[in-house]
Chain A
């Protein structure tokens, strides 16, 4: 909220304390001051009220005239040149005399007034317009004052043009009491140990109310009948009638103070309700009584089909959860949020009903959210308004209206109960010392807390036991109800900065950190992929690749119920779409070689929503999060291409990325013997001929227990015995690339991190053999359709245990659907030196198996 320092000083005398010092102390002791801004024009020197006595044409100019203006009764008028067209003889206007400083209305800079010659005529000052004095109003013409205003009065006093400071104070959700001048004055009083002047004001107010009441005997004793449907929604409601009101502009003080806070003055009555809201924190609303049907105000929930045009001119249909104020004819306001247009105060209003009430904060918040409408009033009610101050504020406003709008105060009718007993809270000094190491005596608590409105009583028995009894005033009962709440108040008043820093007493060693994700990052970044962080909230169109793919099971999609933007409305089920978009983002910026990876989560609803036995519903989330690692590569990430052999082979990317994945597995201590890459053509995000699924051979019990979770990557996962689906890698489907406007032939992978973790084995040392190894090359001709993996496993199965390695050396395509594969076989016996005969025997077995099982032929 915005706070006027000048206004604050009316409640607590802060003289001698600079505004910045005050702001710093308030920030450190109570509420953050986000900004301090000066307010008010830089007007200096003699600017006074004057009267135009005579207007004559200027002898040397058409557009300007010569006036004779006096600034004191009976004084000889001065000649002052004026260019404005709205001046008339007899007007009372502001006159800046030589030596004064006002504002240049063209550019806002200071304008010094001196006696000067204008087109040959001496001008002894200047008649001022509104902008020249820094007040809002018509910029055309001279500011015309009331005809009954005395002459020679200081305009700064008259228009309340005092220099002020406006502080932007950050509100807190649990401190509605501090959203007003009075509330912050209490804080200032406590922080600076200066007394609060509120009591004096209250006394003056009561006296005035008694006076007004005494005068009203001749006035009709009309009153508004008020009623409350539900006391939880509205514990207390009041309406006071004020007669014979004259609607007009506000007095300068009120208008200026509202302007200082950035509020536009409307008319005297509305301004006074706003003024009291700023001052005491109690929202008020004034109705034109003549426009209320049946002179009744009823607080109730809205009924089906009701609507209201609010003061801002918008017609709003009212949800049934909204709390409203209604007269005999229907809704006239949304309780605590905004009044209705029809019954608002207008220039012709003469009698008004002034509403002051206490509405349930959650209810006001609900109405405000449902209507998408918030106001200064709802802002206060949402944070809690002091029920005990409702009538105080109503009286204050009535007093001001009677004083400034010529009104006569009438009857107040009320419904509900506004009596709140003080609530006692016990605070143990030992507890204060235990938690905050603050050691003070009971009397200090009183000195600290009483300026805030708390009453501190120390009973003789309790004194020795170190127990302090604190009575919490009504306006703090929302946030202070427990011992710890009192301790917090003492801590901040004592000063957080006086609490000495220390380290926790116990030394505790944390277990070594899990490096699994770090290992993934290290491996992939060493392979040239940069790490991306992607949004897990995406648009629906990322579930189906913008229409290119099917969503396997819509019921597994987690969506948000209240999305702000279509781009953030579902939780992703794959990481790859985000990577595709990141690649496009980079391609659009002229970067073609994009290699990115991410470690992130995919999200799935569970089909079974019931909580498992032993888990309470309130702790059960029927949804699953899967940690994944995914990567994308549009080109090989080489540092420089000048040494590269140009290749037109479109499969380079695939095999490069496969190598990246294999390196990753190795870095994670996953033996390549534990995994299988199998041709996969069923995932519609990927090229059906250039994609493989990665499976783990099931041997470890930890893997066996994992249910293959096929939901995420569509319906492509074949259920294979003794294998667990770990993830997928392949070339992105050209159709998907087209949908995302992605250039080139990008390849991608996406793997389940927790499954990878379960496959990871601690490295164990295998003894290195001292016997020599034998290398034999084997070239095989076979049908193109036979996969390398079949050949590989056929060789491995046929050989005895002396076969150590099988390395593919070359692949040639032959004519007529045949190809030739060359392998280099490494054979070694752990203890003996292999003889040529033994090796030959093994190779015979291998050839035999290959020709029988795969119909292979050989070249010698």
Chain B
């Protein structure tokens, strides 16, 4: 073919191919177009073969045109492929729609017991104030549960607590208070010391909405030089503030514990009504939170700590009681029934 013939042929091929590409409806169509017009056996390729016969000037001109045609075809193929891909993807995405409202199939999460939760909160607050967490035995001797705590044999407080005695040995009992840990901590560590001792305690009582033969306490003890009653109050005020998340007034009322003197019940302004009176606080405006006091000199002496040099304070609170207040639980038995309908709310 002459140069001019080739020229027009190339142009017509170009138009033909571009039309075929535009008409292609799938990537498969495009592939057959590509093979037909640009493959090894295609007319375009044979035209390229005929270039050799042309004079140099013509060769350059037609060669350039051939390249342009080739380029145009490739660009058109690419663009059309993109278009088709987009269309096909859109179609697929539409077809693949699912009912996202169907429930997930993962593993159900378990729940952490409310007493663990409240205990964590309490411990975390005191840990932040420098108190170290200690643990100790529930089966104890009378020495740790009473004698060392300034509660001799005839002391009326010994009967009030209706202690469970065991068959392990004479005088071996189930501790009636975590105060045992005061003695154990002081035996182990010389002041200054700050400990917090959470644990299970036992009282020989009938089960009802308020009482269970076992429950949990958190005991706190701080021994240092120059420890005052005011510092006890300040520490507890801080505890209430952090536990309930707001500034609350505290109120100390006289009480009696054999191992502290002066002793007090430390009430906290009711965080639910701010002292106005509500159901939780029995319309008193105050919550009875815990018992506390300055460590009795006899207790310090029983562990060979000199009460003229050191002084300290101690406090003990009922974990169930605080959990009941904070979570609005009105029956202590809920904590031990382990009803999942209850547990799963925490």
Kindly list chain A residues whose C-beta atoms are within 8 Å of the C-beta of B255: 32, 172
Contact A30 B311 (CB under 8 A): no
Residues of B near A30 (CB, < 8 A) are 254
A618 and B168 form a contact (CB under 8 A): no
- B167: contacting residue among A434, A558, A585, CB under 8 A: A558
Q: How distant is A600 from chain B, measured CB to nearest CB, in Å?
A: 9
A328 interfacial by beta-carbon distance below 8 Å: no
- CB <8 Å contact, A499 and B233: yes
Q: Does B338 have its Cβ within 8 Å of any Cβ on chain A?
A: yes
Q: Which residues of A contact B133 (CB under 8 A)?
A: 510, 513-514
CA of A504 to CA of B123 in the docked complex: distance in angstroms? 18
Q: Give complex CA distance A559, B123 in Å.
A: 31
Which residues in window 250-286 of B have CB below 8 A to A? 250-256, 261-265
Q: Mark B82-114, 1 if CB is under 8 A from A, else 0.
A: 000000000000000000001111111111110
Give Cα distance in the complex from A369 to B264, angstroms: 29
Pairwise interchain contact B154-A361, C-beta atoms closer than 8 A: yes
- Of A303-311, A439-447, A587-595, A787-795, the stretch lying at the interface with chain B is A587-595
In contact, A528 and B262 (Cβ under 8 angstroms):
no
Interface segment, one of A134-142, A294-302, A561-569, A737-745: A561-569
Decide if A532 is an interface residue (CB 8 Å cutoff). yes
Bound-state CA distance A833–B280 (Å) is 72
Given A508-B194, A589-B339, decide whether A437 and B229 contact each other with a Cβ distance below 8 A.
yes
Which residues of A lie under 8 Å from residue B336 when comparing CB positions? 533-535
Decide: B130 and A621 in contact? CB cutoff 8 A: no
Q: Are A528 and B104 in contact, CB atoms less than 8 angstroms apart? A: no
A residues within 8 A CB of B140?
621
Q: Is B297 an interface residue (CB 8 A)?
A: yes
* In the complex with contacts A535-B336, A562-B164, A499-B226 CB distance below 8 A: no
Measured CA separation A536–B253 after assembly (Å): 34
Known: A585-B339, A618-B143. A562 touches B107 (CB 8 A): no
Per the CB 8 Å criterion, the residue count for chain A at the interface is: 100
A172→B141 CA distance, assembly (Å): 25
- Measured CB to CB, the closest approach of chain A to B202, in angstroms, equals 7
Within 8 Å CB of B153, what residues of A? 362
Known: A528-B107, A620-B141. A499 touches B213 (CB 8 A): no
Are B338 and A501 neighbours in the complex by a CB distance under 8 Å? no
Contact pattern, B 213-239, Cβ under 8 Å of A = 1, otherwise 0: 110000000101011111101110110
What B residues does A537 contact at CB under 8 A?
164, 174, 202, 213-214
Whether B138 pairs with A625 at a CB distance below 8 angstroms is yes
- Which of A504, A505, A524, A564 is the most central at the interface, judged by chain B CB atoms within 10 Å of its CB? A504
Q: Is B305 in the interface zone, CB < 8 Å from A?
A: no
Residues from chain A with a CB closer than 8 A to the CB of B337 are 582, 585
Residue of B with least CB distance to A529: B110
| B116 within 8 A of partner (CB) | yes
Contact A369 B159 (CB under 8 A): yes
A637–B107 touching, CB < 8 Å: yes
Measured CB to CB, the closest approach of chain B to A664, in angstroms, equals: 12
Q: How far is the CA of A557 from the CA of B168 in the complex (A)?
A: 9
Which of the candidate stretches A56-64, A110-118, A273-281, A639-647 sits at the interface with the other chain? A639-647
Interface window among B34-42, B58-66, B70-78, B203-211 = B203-211
Which of A369, A514, A568, A618 meets B213, CB within 8 Å?
A568
Check if A513 sits within 8 Å of B127, measured CB to CB. Answer: yes
Closest to B112 in A: A531
The residue in chain B whose Cβ has the minimal distance to the Cβ of A479 is B256
Residues of the A chain whose Cβ atoms lie less than 8 Å from the Cβ of B55: none
Of the candidates B108, B111, B226, the one whose C-beta lies within 8 Å of that of A638 is B108
Contacts of A597 in B (CB 8 A): 110
Is A508's CB under 8 angstroms from B228's CB?
no
B294 at interface (Cβ–Cβ under 8 A)? yes
Residue A408 CB within 8 A of the other chain: no
A671 CB-CB contact with B under 8 Å: no
| Shortest Cβ gap from A104 to chain B (Å) | 29
**A486-527 contact mask (Cβ, 8 Å, vs B): 1 or 0:** 011001100011011111111111110110001001001111
Cβ of B139 under 8 Å from chain A: yes
Which residue numbers of B lie inside 8 Å of A, CB to CB? 102-113, 115-116, 120, 123, 127, 130-133, 137-144, 147, 153-157, 159-160, 164-169, 171-172, 174, 192, 194, 200, 202, 204-207, 212-214, 222, 224, 226-231, 233-235, 237-238, 250-256, 261-265, 294, 296-297, 311, 335-341, 343-344
The 12 sampled A-B contact pairs (Cβ below 8 Å) are A173-B160, A173-B256, A361-B154, A488-B263, A496-B253, A510-B127, A526-B107, A531-B113, A536-B200, A562-B164, A591-B341, A639-B106
Further contacts, 16 of them, CB under 8 A, given A508-B194, A601-B200: A32-B265, A361-B154, A362-B154, A434-B311, A510-B194, A513-B133, A524-B110, A527-B110, A530-B111, A533-B336, A535-B213, A535-B336, A563-B164, A586-B339, A589-B339, A591-B341
Query: 7 shortest A-B CB distances, which residue pairs?
Result: A508-B130, A525-B110, A496-B252, A501-B234, A640-B103, A173-B156, A488-B262
